[in-house]
Structure 1
Amino acid sequence: MRVLLVEDDDRLAAALTTALSRHGHEVVRAALAVDALRLAGGVDFVLLDLTLPDMDGLDVLRRLRRSSAVPLIVVTARIEEREVLRGLRSGADDYLVKPFRTAELMARMEAVLRRGTRPLPVRDEVVTVGDVRIDLDARQVHVAGEQITLTRREFDVLALLARSPGVVRSREEILDEVWGDPLLSASRSLDVHVAGLRAKTGRPGLVETLRGTGYRLGSTA
């Protein structure tokens, strides 16, 4: 099996390469996120560190999942529960915290392969709701053909909902993904940004509130 090892620590990368090779795997190593994204299309498995010099590993993971269902395990020193949840929600098949034993890594890789490759999510880069057009790649929103200006976080909130139409996102999940801190759930930051989205688009139903649950992409009706 061809394994992409995304790890910027040379000593750890060398040790893992040796261990994987002993188990019959061919290892392709990338120390930078840009190389990982370029190489991921030609491998059977990805081991991804989250701390990379040119991009956060979670961003790499999200980009990979837009176009690839390759089995992937996050291998990182980040031990906080919030980081584990973010990794799994972003599309990782498993999450392994350093330091770990080689035997555990191999067992987890085998378990992921036994479960089978996850179906590739269908992600439209342009999401249309009524007369609202949300271009996720270009980070642009048009209403009735006119482009409107959103703040970075307003767009991030809308994009998170737009990537999974119909899926309810909890306040904690949105605050974690957009602000990086679920503890902000006691503040009104999210409410202010949702209000801004409704006002700027002129479509109050675009972001639907489910009281006590969270938010989801609504309609313009």
Structure 2
Amino acid sequence: MTATILIIEDHNDIQRLLCEELSTDYQVLQAYSGTEGLLYLKTEKPDLVLLDIMLPGLSGQEVLEQARQFSDVPIIMVTALDDKAMVSQYLLSGANDYVTKPFDLNELRARIAVQLRLAHTSTDKPTDTLKHLNITLDLQTFEIRSEAVSLSLSKKEFDIFKLLLENPQKVFTKAQLYENVWKEPFLAEEHVLNTQLSNLRKKLHQLDPTQEYIKTVWGIGVRLTESRDL
């Protein structure tokens, strides 16, 4: 199946160049603003995104941060700035790679091919779901399901629940949980983890009010509830 690439770029000449170059091998979607690009990302579910930084509406940085709340699609940032500090920030925010303008088309093609191959390898697994008690986590859609009812998780909620499901007997301290999911050092005053855990628990309870799925181990942290806890 031909991969679909979403180009989010407001410069007409660059859009035309990229579309002409890539449409010989890929299906191409074109967006000319950050807002339009985010809409395409949600509705069309492309296989890879080329994301310009300087955009009307939502900036490339804002699109990246919002996209990472619901999608793991490979994102290659396209920037006119060769600012290593900014590039590092994009990568820490979830970008997979970057190219600077003016870019070499052969190099860009190679970077696209690498990211598509990595994405295919990471999703080519024997199973695309994880199940515990009455709830199933879909690794492809970021949804939790119970019978015929499903709810979408944010990216962080998904990462937290997936980590717990993959380590069913491990007790995670808040620092361990935060550092595994956010990939950065934990600060004792950090409240974002508590918010994400609370939201995840509410969604789990909404699907299955008969069970507690995340158990608090007082003074230590949290773990997945086991059958013997019920």
TM norm structure 1: 0.56
Q: 1:206 aligns with which of 177, 189, 192?
A: 189
Offset from partner CA, 1:142-184 (integer Å, 9 cap, x none) = xxxxxxxxxxxxxxxxxxx99x72467469xxxxxxxxxxxxx
Q: Does the CA-based 8 Å contact 1:93-1:112 persist in structure 2?
A: yes
How many Å separate the matches in 1 of 2:183 and 2:18? 39
How many Å separate the matches in 2 of 1:94 and 1:48? 10
Quote how far apart the aligned CAs of 1:217 are: 6.3
How many Å separate the matches in 1 of 2:110 and 2:183? 34
Quote how far apart the aligned CAs of 1:65 are: 0.8
Amino acid aligned to 1:32 = S
Q: Does 1:89 align with 2:89?
A: no
Q: Which residue of 2 aligns with 1:18?
A: 20
Q: Does 1:104 align with 2:87?
A: no
Q: Which residue of 2 aligns with 1:165?
A: 178
Q: Does the CA-based 8 Å contact 2:4-2:48 persist in structure 1?
A: yes
How many Å separate the matches in 2 of 1:217 and 1:52? 31
Kindly report the root-mean-square deviation, in angstroms, between the aligned alpha carbons of the 2 structures. 3.4
Q: Does the CA-based 8 Å contact 1:72-1:93 persist in structure 2?
A: yes
Quote how far apart the aligned CAs of 1:114 are: 2.2
How many Å separate the matches in 1 of 2:39 and 2:157? 21
Offset from partner CA, 1:11-69 (integer Å, 9 cap, x none) = 111011100113x2121111111111110132111100011011221111010011011
Amino acid aligned to 1:105 = L
Q: Which residue of 2 aligns with 1:124?
A: 157
Corresponding residue SS for 1:54:
coil
TM norm structure 2: 0.54
Q: Does the CA-based 8 Å contact 1:206-1:217 persist in structure 2?
A: no
Quote how far apart the aligned CAs of 1:122 are: 4.0
* Percent sequence identity over aligned pairs: 31
How many Å separate the matches in 2 of 1:168 and 1:62? 15
How many Å separate the matches in 2 of 1:76 and 1:206? 34
Q: Which residue of 1 aligns with 2:8?
A: 6
Structure 1 residues not aligned, in runs of 5+: 128-160, 172-193, 195-204, 209-215
Aligned length: 146
Q: Does the CA-based 8 Å contact 1:3-1:47 persist in structure 2?
A: yes
Taking structure 1 as reference, are residues 114 and 32 closer, same or farther at Cα in structure 2, changes over 3 Å only?
Answer: same
Structure 2 residues not aligned, in runs of 5+: 123-138, 143-153, 161-173, 195-217, 220-230
Quote how far apart the aligned CAs of 1:9 are: 0.3
Q: Does the CA-based 8 Å contact 1:65-1:91 persist in structure 2?
A: yes
Corresponding residue SS for 2:23:
helix
Corresponding residue SS for 2:107:
helix
Taking structure 1 as reference, are residues 168 and 36 closer, same or farther at Cα in structure 2, changes over 3 Å only?
Answer: closer
Corresponding residue SS for 2:53:
coil
Quote how far apart the aligned CAs of 1:103 are: 0.6
- Give 1:19-168 correspondences, 5 Å limit: 19-22=21-24, 24-41=25-42, 42=44, 43-116=46-119, 122-124=155-157, 165-166=178-179
